[in-house]
Amino acid sequence: MLYPLKFEPLFYEKIWGGDMLTKIHKSCPKDKTIGESWDLACHDHGVSIISNGNYAGKSLNEMIKLFKTDLIGKKINEDKFPLLLKILDAKNILSVQVHPQDSYALKNENDLGKTEAWYILKTYDQPKLILGTKDISKDELKNSIKNNEITNHLNEISVKEGETYFIKSGLIHTMKDVLILEIQQNSDTTYRFYDFDRGRKLHINKALDVIDTDLKSFNSNGLTKVFDNYEHTYICYDKNFSLEKLKIKGNVDFKSNEDRFHIYTIIEGSGVIEGKSFFYDLDTFDTIMIPASLGKYKISGNLKLLKSYVPNLEELEDEILDNIKH
């Protein structure tokens, strides 16, 4: 019988990493510069391992083969898990980079494209994001690298905890002094456009192929609906994923969706999740997967959660419209 699944984080050393992940994940190595934890993954470069219940020790791809649509849902493709959830600790600046669209990535990398969303969990001293360019063409952008002037043409913004940014494939971007939760398409393809003379491989031609200099991104406040014991905020969405925030105080009853799995990450507080045959504690920075066939369950406590899943766009938009009707 399926139950809410917890996972062991997967850790990746990065030259731009910091020390925040060691504070939120007990298993994070303290003797390495860890930049990423993959908190729910089923990719060639990393697969999550179940950490709770009877299936502890099994991998997520084993579970998908074993339970198929009972786990992931009737409308989710069993051949390619759709989502990847990470926490990034960018103490130092990442490369100036861009991700490809699906068609380009499938043709050139045998991978999905990469649209993602960033939720700012914590910040260091001078948090900033670079999102898009300042009215510059692709040719001008390429020349700015040769002249070491690219940073003059990038759109830099300061940010704070609790903000969310939608990063569409094709949007040039980077970050510094932030800890973010990232929900994205299940892809590990990044094209570095500029890397601050750190000697890593660049992918300028591929980056130019996919960059859209007209793209921008802004903080998404979302739309909030208040219920008796919780608030539900629809932050951002597209065909690839929906990102939502729940603030729970007390007991709230839920029911799984037989067409699609759900992911919760606790970003503040603690509580429990329980059903007829399961009872699990929920602590800050736990990530849990709700099987499509789980049925009814209850979340109790004083906590904030980020919810992500692959939506049916028509159903989601109808739900949002219903919630704003008076």
Query: How far, in Å, CA of 223 to CA of 220, rounded?
Result: 9
Residue range 66-80, pLDDT digits in tens: 999 999 999 999 889
Helix (H) or strand (E) holding 146: helix 138-146
Q: Which of 164, 182, 210 represents a domain boundary (last residue)?
A: 210
Q: What is the CATH number of the domain that holds 227?
A: 2.60.120.10
Query: How far, in Å, CA of 176 to CA of 39, rounded?
Result: 21
Residues 66, 185 within the same domain: yes
Burial letters 90-122, b for 16+ CB under 10 A, else e: bbbbbbbbbbbbbebbeeeeebbbbbbbbbbbb
Residues 17, 126 within the same domain: yes
Residues 145, 286 within the same domain: no
Question: What string of DSSP letters covers 97-121?
Answer: EE---HHHHHHHTSS----EEEEEE
Lowest mean pLDDT among 9-23, 136-150, 262-276, 284-298: 136-150
Domain for residue 216, yes or no?
A: no
Residues 203, 234 within the same domain: no
Domain for residue 52, yes or no?
A: yes
Domain for residue 272, yes or no?
A: yes
Residues 14, 150 within the same domain: yes
Structural domain count, the chain:
2
Q: Which of 159, 176, 210 represents a domain boundary (last residue)?
A: 210
Residues 153, 199 within the same domain: yes
Q: Among the options 192, 198, 200, 260, which is catalytic?
A: 192
Domain for residue 144, yes or no?
A: yes
Domain for residue 218, yes or no?
A: no
Residues 182, 263 within the same domain: no
Residues 21, 106 within the same domain: yes
Residue 35: per-residue pLDDT: 98
Residue 135: per-residue pLDDT: 85
Residue range 98-149, pLDDT digits in tens: 999 999 999 999 999 999 999 999 999 999 999 999 988 888 988 888 888 8
Residue range 298-314, pLDDT digits in tens: 999 999 999 999 999 99
Domain for residue 215, yes or no?
A: no
**Domain residues for 313?**
223-324
Residues 205, 229 within the same domain: no
Specify whether the CB–CB gap between 88 and 175 falls below 8 A.
yes
Domain for residue 289, yes or no?
A: yes
Question: Is there a catalytic annotation at residue 200?
Answer: no
Q: How far is CA 93 from the centre of its chain?
A: 19
Residues 140, 250 within the same domain: no
Name the band, by pLDDT with cuts 50, 70 and 90, for residue 323: confident
Amino acid symbol at 112? L
Q: What is the phi/psi pair of residue 324, to 5°? A: -105, 0
pTM: 0.96
Q: What is the phi/psi pair of residue 38, to 5°? A: -95, 110
Name the band, by pLDDT with cuts 50, 70 and 90, for residue 325: low
First to last CA, the chain: 41
Q: Which of 158, 182, 210 represents a domain boundary (last residue)?
A: 210
Residues 102, 195 within the same domain: yes
Query: How far, in Å, CA of 82 to CA of 312, rounded?
Result: 14
Residue 68 gets the label, from left (phi > 0), alpha (psi -120 to 50) or beta, of: left
Average pLDDT, the chain: 96
Residues 273, 157 within the same domain: no
